[in-house]
Amino acid sequence: MVYLRPHSERQEKLHRIIKKLQEYRHMSLKSIADKLNALGIKTHRGKSFSSGSIYSIIKRKKERDKWIERIRNKKFSIKILNFDLS
């Protein structure tokens, strides 16, 4: 099983900002990127945001949440077959 580090506090805040702008203000990805750039917020690599980077942030968060729900939190049954201590 692959270990995924938890999101950093910065990543969580950035995702919340993006989701609020998208859901409550009905802003496009380009508008969100422009807004973040106007506020002086940079990507984790210190670059400006683009609509593609906003899309990637949303996509990765969705994929990660799905993975955690399906795999990490899955309950596996315990089954031991042909166990011998000889």
Q: What's the rounded Cα separation, in Å, for the pair 6 and 23?
A: 24
pLDDT digit string (tens) for 15-31? Answer: 999 999 999 899 999 99
pLDDT at 55 over 80: yes
In this prediction, residue 68 carries a pLDDT of: 78
Q: Are 46 and 54 in contact (CB under 8 A)?
A: no
Instruction: Give the closest residue to 11 by CA, choosing from 50, 40, 45, 52.
Output: 45
CA distances from 46 to 53, 62, 77 (A): 12, 23, 45
In this prediction, residue 65 carries a pLDDT of: 84
pTM across the whole model: 0.72
In this prediction, residue 66 carries a pLDDT of: 85
